[in-house]
Amino acid sequence: MAAVFNVLLPIFALILAGYLCRRLGVLGPSAASEVNRMVVWLCLPALLFEATATADWVQIWQPQFILAYSLGALAVFVLTLLWRLRQRQGLADASVQGLSASYANTGYMGIPLCVLVLGDEGLEPALIASLIVVCVLFSLAVVCIEVALQDEKRLHRAVAKVLLALIKNPLVVAPLLGGLWSVFDQPLPLPAHRLLDLLAAATAPCALISLGLFLAHKQSGRSEGSIGLVLIKLIVHPLITWVLAFQVFQLPPLWAYAALLLSALPTGTGPFMLAEFYRREASVVSSSILLSTLGSLFSLSLCLYLIGQ
C-alpha cells in the first residue's frame, strides 16, 4: 500500500493546489476553463505528437498484450455508453462518461507504478497502454461526441461536417501527424523535441490543477452517477482485463500482471478535459476522477497483493 500511496500523493497534491488557488482567490472563476483550454490546444497535442512520432513501433508491437488491454478498455467504454444511452442520456454525455469508466491514468500513475512493481521491464507495457488510452480511446470518444453534436439531417453533409470538425480537432490531428512523421524514420530536430518535451510535461500537472479549480466551484450539476462509473472503473475493468490477459490470451506473467495493474488504475484527467472542452456536464466526471483515485488505493493494493502471491 505504501508504494501506491507514494504514487497517489502527488496527484492529490496537485488537485489540492488547484482547489486552494481558487478558494483563496489566487486564480479567478474562469481559470479552470482557461487552463484546460491550454492543455487541450497546446500540452496534450504536443504529448500525442511526440508519443507517436518517437515511438519504436517494432519494440512496442506486442499483439496479444495490445489485444488484451484494448479489448478490455473498449468493452468497458461500449458497455458504459450503452448503459447511459438506455438511461436516456445524449450520445455526447454518454461518450464522456464511457470514457470516464475506461480511461485509466496510465501516464501519470501507470508508468511509475509499473516500473516500481515490475522493474524496468514494466516500462514497455505501460507505454503501450498509454498509447492505447490516449490515441484509441480518446479518439473514439472525440468521434462519438462530434457525431452527437451535428444537427445536419442529410447523411453526406453530416459526414462531411464530422470529418471537418475532426480535422480541426488538435487531439485527432496531433497523433496522426506524429504517426506520419514516424513513417519517415527521422529523429525530431533537437529544438522541436525540447519544445514538445516542455509542453508534454505540463499536461498532467495542468490538467490536475484544472480539476482542482473546477472542484472548488459550487457545482450545480448532478454527480450521483459517479459512483457507478467508479465501480465500473475499479472492479469491472480489471475483471474483464484479467479474463482476457490470463484466460483468453494467456500472456506471459509480466505482461499479464502489467495488464491487470494498468486496468485497475483510476480514471485519468482525459474525460474531464473533454467535458470542459465540449461544454458537457463535468460534475459526474470530476467526481468519478476524485473518487476513483481515492478508491484505487485499495484496488491497486489488492492487485499488488495478488501479484505478490
CB-side exposure of 100: number of CA atoms within 13 Å? 34
Question: Which of the 8 DSSP states describes residue 122?
Answer: G
Report the pLDDT averaged over residues 19-38.
88
Question: What is the predicted pLDDT for the residue at 299?
Answer: 85
CATH code at position 134: 1.20.1530
With 0.85 as the threshold, say if the pTM is over it: no
pLDDT, residue 157, reads 65
When pLDDT is averaged across residues 182-187 and rounded to a whole number, the result is 83
Query: Into how many domains does the chain fold?
Result: 1
Report yes or no on 21 lying in a domain.
Answer: no
Residue 1 inside a domain? The answer is no
Residue 140 to residue 102: CA distance in whole angstroms: 12
Q: Is 99 among the domain residues?
A: yes
Angle between helices 44-53 and 123-131 (to 10 degrees): 120
* 3-state SS assignment for residue 104: strand
In this predicted structure, what is the pLDDT of residue 237?
96
Q: Which of 39-53, 67-81, 140-154 has the lowest mean pLDDT?
A: 140-154
Residue range(s) defining the domain that contains residue 144: 31-213+223-308
- Read off the pLDDT band of 218 (50, 70, 90): low
Q: What is the pLDDT of residue 220?
A: 47
* Residue 22 in domain: no
Tell me if 7 is assigned to some domain.
no
For residue 244, count other CB atoms closer than 10 A to its CB. Answer: 25
19 lies in some domain: no
4 assigned to some structural domain: no
Q: Tell me if 209 is assigned to some domain.
A: yes
Residue 60 has pLDDT above 80, yes or no: no
Mean pLDDT of 250-267: 92
